[in-house]
């Protein structure tokens, strides 16, 4: 079972990395394969600390890390939605669109720290 789970996890990382290469090619073009896969792995781990389990939710989360910044989830308004127990975990990323203002997104982008791609998520 552990081998199957490890294989499934690796395939998830590869699918999200492929998505980033296809949809965010400018961002991904300067990255070597190992770095990209490490960044995706760290993004998935970061998303999972909010209870995300669906591939679609994890992909959206990692895409937001690319578009806004790898630590976008530390912005208070983002964090509030991602930890809101009244929203099902896999619906929280979609909830960000409903609850955040343009100013919230701008602030999250302004606070982006590229080194957070390589930081272990805090549980």
> pLDDT confidence of 79, banded at 50, 70, 90?
very high
Give tens-digit pLDDT for 19-56: 999 999 898 888 999 999 999 999 999 999 999 999 99
The predicted model scores a pTM of: 0.90
**Mean pLDDT of the residues in the chain:** 92
57: CB partners within 8 A, 6+ apart: 47, 89, 90, 91, 92, 93
More confident residue, 123 or 108: 108
> pLDDT confidence of 121, banded at 50, 70, 90?
low
């Amino acid at each position: 079972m552990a081998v199957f789970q490890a294989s499934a996890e690796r395939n998830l990382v590869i699918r999200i990395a492929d998505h980033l290469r296809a949809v965010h090619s400018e961002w991904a073009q300067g990255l070597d394969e190992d770095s990209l896969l490490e960044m995706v792995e760290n993004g998935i781990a970061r998303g999972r600390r909010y209870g995300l389990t669906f591939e679609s939710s994890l992909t959206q989360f990692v895409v937001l890390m690319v578009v806004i910044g790898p630590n976008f989830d530390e912005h208070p308004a983002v964090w509030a939605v991602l930890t809101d127990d009244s929203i099902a975990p896999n619906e929280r990323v979609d909830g960000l669109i409903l609850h955040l203002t343009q100013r919230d997104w701008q602030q999250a982008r302004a606070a982006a720290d590229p080194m957070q791609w390589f930081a272990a998520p805090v549980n």
